[in-house]
Amino acid sequence: MLWRKFSGEPIHLPIKEAVETAIKNETAAGNKLKVCIGTDSQVKGQETEFATVIVFLREGHGGFMYINNDKTRQKYSIKERMLVEVAKSIEIAYELCHLFTTYDVDMEVHADINTNPQFKSNDALREAMGYILGMGFAFKAKPEAFASSSCANKVVN
């Protein structure tokens, strides 16, 4: 997986090392961190592009994020696509969760799924919530799921 910063600068370290370095640097600078992980997707013609973000929030001092983009030609129903987004977020959250525990960093998984039943994405809400909570992660859906609905949404081409 190729990760980059919001500026476009590539992250050359494995993502675990890059995240641990960021946590150490931010902690040394006196910042209390919270991390939110989310994925959004967009269908364009034959392709579906996913953007997964790791958003680092500095309490009272803004934040930054790491981004991974991924494309596929696989066809999905809206519900399948929502659950693939959640799976991508959980995959990275699971890979990094021991770091967040070690360094006492709160972490949430954000799902770009609407809590309003009038929206099609709501069909996946129960499964997504069960999947995330079942993995032991804190869960946020729209409108609180800014990592997926705002951050990842901005970087999915």
pLDDT single digits (tens) 75-94: 999 999 999 999 999 999 99
Q: Which residues contact 72 (CB under 8 A, 6 or more apart)?
A: 47, 48, 50
pLDDT single digits (tens) 48-65: 999 999 999 999 999 999
pLDDT exceeds cutoff 90 at 73: yes
What pTM was computed for the model? 0.93
Average pLDDT over residues 117-125: 86
Domain that includes residue 117, residue range: 3-155
The total number of structural domains that make up the chain: 1
